[in-house]
Amino acid sequence: MRMVDIIDKKRNGGELTQEEIQTFVDGVVSGEIPDYQTSAFLMATYFKDMTDAERSELTMAMMKSGDHLDLSSIPGLKVDKHSTGGVGDKTSIPLAPIVAALGIPVPMISGRGLGHTGGTLDKLEAIPGYQVEISESDFLKQVRDQGLAIVGATGNIAPADKKIYALRDVTDTVDSIPLIASSIMSKKIASGTDALVIDVKTGAGAFMKTLDDSRKLAKALVGIGKGVGMDCMAIISDMNQPLGNAIGNALEIKESIDLLKGQAPADITELVMTLGAHMVVMSGKADDLETARAMCEKTITDGSALQKFGDMVAAQGGDRNVIDHPEIMPQAKFKIELPAKTSGVVSKVEADEMGIASMLLGGGRQKADDQLDYAVGIMMNKKVGDPVKAGESLLTIYSNREDVADIKQRLYDNIEVRDTAEPFTLIHETIR
Ligand code: URA
């Protein structure tokens, strides 16, 4: 079978067979298919989409390209959560300890930042000593002993995704439903979780900009999961403005700890509690969302979730003193305010542009091998719907360079202050 014929079929809108998809994935992993043909295939898929059957075949071929984790030595139903990526989205960091504090094992395999979106692993690495690359046996032991771990893909999980992902990033084929769905689900199926809650982001800061596309992606993800017998559901949550107030690695760890102390902004707290409640119901520890949510909230008031977070940090080599002394993480030299030019109500904060600004300060990667500056980022002082007076600070820039005129201009261009603001909806839909 020639790769050029497979590309041709997809380019002309044909439905690929299992054998053709397998040939493509095998060739990517072995290196027999050159990057230029893989890129052409990705672009053809981007434009012509895939049928449900093709999406499932692609997911399974990518999943089988590597190892399958066996979590059977960990007692109980294992529950995980995955987000399609956003700005200020540190949800996993407080969520895993909240759920684990209720005795539900959370084996979480997370990713790094991509484009304007942050990555859970990068954020955790802001904690001195925290190791995200641990062996499979240490990962299993930690989930057995502590009830949770947040790590990078151990060993050889879905190597096809690693290669395809790197090419998608540089060929502008990231925001494709079949490619996102197969990328996420191949890793999640390989990671062996029993149940999965997916947080599909929608809006300016998400890969899917419209509710309609986000709904299609959510249905594709849930459909693939259910097809392999995984208990799977999705929520669609808003990513037009950043989530919470903090954007940037150390700043987001601090906000995650604040959440575990019951002191975080309302939007991030609400999302974490909603996702947590779904995970608890899926685990069978509660019959309904209301009870499950109350259980999650109790882990905050009784301090058990904060304790779990500290246990996880320590087990992965990190310094748990970060809980009371966030200043042990890298600190920015300059804190620069962005004063409002007019009085009114904040009507728009473009999430993707806030993410890009944080990346340009050094908080994200512009090239794959860029070193991150964990200290830098942005703290939103005003969000959509907040009243503001001229001269009041809209946000604070945390920077290690003094001259941030370029960043300030970008931020001003992407925050609107008007007379009124549209009401803001955080959680749009639930897809089962
Ligand atoms: N996260 C992934 O793992 N893959 C994608 O394609 C997008 C988000």
Quick: pLDDT tens for 190-214. Answer: 999 999 999 999 999 999 999 999 9
Split into its structural domains, the chain has a count of 3
Domain for residue 66, yes or no?
no
Considering the domain architecture, whether residues 298 and 365 belong to the same structural domain is answered as no
Identity at 208, one-letter amino acid code = M
Domain for residue 284, yes or no?
yes
Substitution site in 112, 165, 208 for ligand 1 pocket (most atoms within 8 Å of beta carbon): 165
Considering the domain architecture, whether residues 81 and 38 belong to the same structural domain is answered as no
Considering the domain architecture, whether residues 220 and 249 belong to the same structural domain is answered as yes
Domain for residue 430, yes or no?
no
| Domain of residue 103, residue span | 77-156+165-176+188-321
Residue 355 Cβ inside 6 Å of ligand 1? The answer reads no
pLDDT digits (tens, 9 = 90+) for 85-122: 899 999 999 999 999 999 999 999 998 887 788 899 99
Long-range contacts of 160-163 (CB under 8 A, 24+ apart): 160/25, 160/28, 160/29, 160/61, 160/62, 160/65, 160/66, 160/186, 161/62, 161/65, 161/186, 161/187, 163/28, 163/29, 163/38
Considering the domain architecture, whether residues 412 and 337 belong to the same structural domain is answered as yes
Considering the domain architecture, whether residues 234 and 333 belong to the same structural domain is answered as no
Q: Please state the rounded mean pLDDT for residues 24-28.
A: 98
Domain for residue 203, yes or no?
yes
Model confidence at 310: pLDDT above 90: yes
Domain for residue 258, yes or no?
yes
Domain for residue 117, yes or no?
yes
C-alpha 224 – ligand 1 centre gap (Å): 15
> How many Å is the maximal CA-CA distance in the chain?
66
Considering the domain architecture, whether residues 211 and 354 belong to the same structural domain is answered as no
Contact predicate 252/93, CB 8 Å: yes
Identify the residue whose tokens are 């979106």: 117
Considering the domain architecture, whether residues 278 and 129 belong to the same structural domain is answered as yes
Domain for residue 425, yes or no?
no
pLDDT of residue 155: 63
Closest-CA residue, ligand 1 atom 6, reads 180
Q: Pick the catalytic residue: 162, 168, 201, 278?
A: 168
Q: Pick the catalytic residue: 55, 163, 187, 365?
A: 187
User: For residue 362, what is the DSSP state?
Assistant: I
Model confidence at 368: pLDDT above 80: no
Considering the domain architecture, whether residues 307 and 336 belong to the same structural domain is answered as no
Q: Given 3-state DSSP classes, what are the helix, strand and coil percentages for the chain, each rounded to the nearest 5?
A: 45, 15, 40
**Cβ-count burial of 229 within 10 angstroms (0-12 exposed, 13-18 middle, 19+ buried)?**
exposed
Residue 183 Cβ inside 6 Å of ligand 1? The answer reads yes
Ligand 1 atom with least separation from CA of 179: 6
- Rounded to whole angstroms, the Cα distance separating 201 from 206 reads 5
Q: What is the CATH number of the domain that holds 115?
A: 3.40.1030.10
C-alpha 43 – ligand 1 centre gap (Å): 16
C-alpha 180 – ligand 1 centre gap (Å): 5
Q: How many CA atoms lie within 13 A of 90 on its CB side?
A: 30
Considering the domain architecture, whether residues 274 and 204 belong to the same structural domain is answered as yes
| Low-confidence winner among 63-67, 142-146, 364-368, 413-417 (lowest mean pLDDT) | 364-368
- Rounded to whole angstroms, the Cα distance separating 168 from 162 reads 10
Domain for residue 181, yes or no?
no
Q: What is the CATH number of the domain that holds 35?
A: 1.20.970.10
Considering the domain architecture, whether residues 305 and 343 belong to the same structural domain is answered as no
Q: What is the CATH number of the domain that holds 376?
A: 3.90.1170.30
Residue 264 Cβ inside 6 Å of ligand 1? The answer reads no
Considering the domain architecture, whether residues 296 and 377 belong to the same structural domain is answered as no
Residue 111 Cβ inside 6 Å of ligand 1? The answer reads yes
Structure tokens at 297: 């909230």
C-alpha 182 – ligand 1 centre gap (Å): 9
Signed CA dihedral, 326, 332, 334, 338: sign only? negative
Structure tokens at 338: 């962005």
pLDDT digits (tens, 9 = 90+) for 241-252: 999 999 999 999
The Cα-based distances of 165 to 46, 78, 156, 182 in angstroms read 13, 26, 15, 11
Considering the domain architecture, whether residues 114 and 249 belong to the same structural domain is answered as yes
Closest-CA residue, ligand 1 atom 2, reads 184
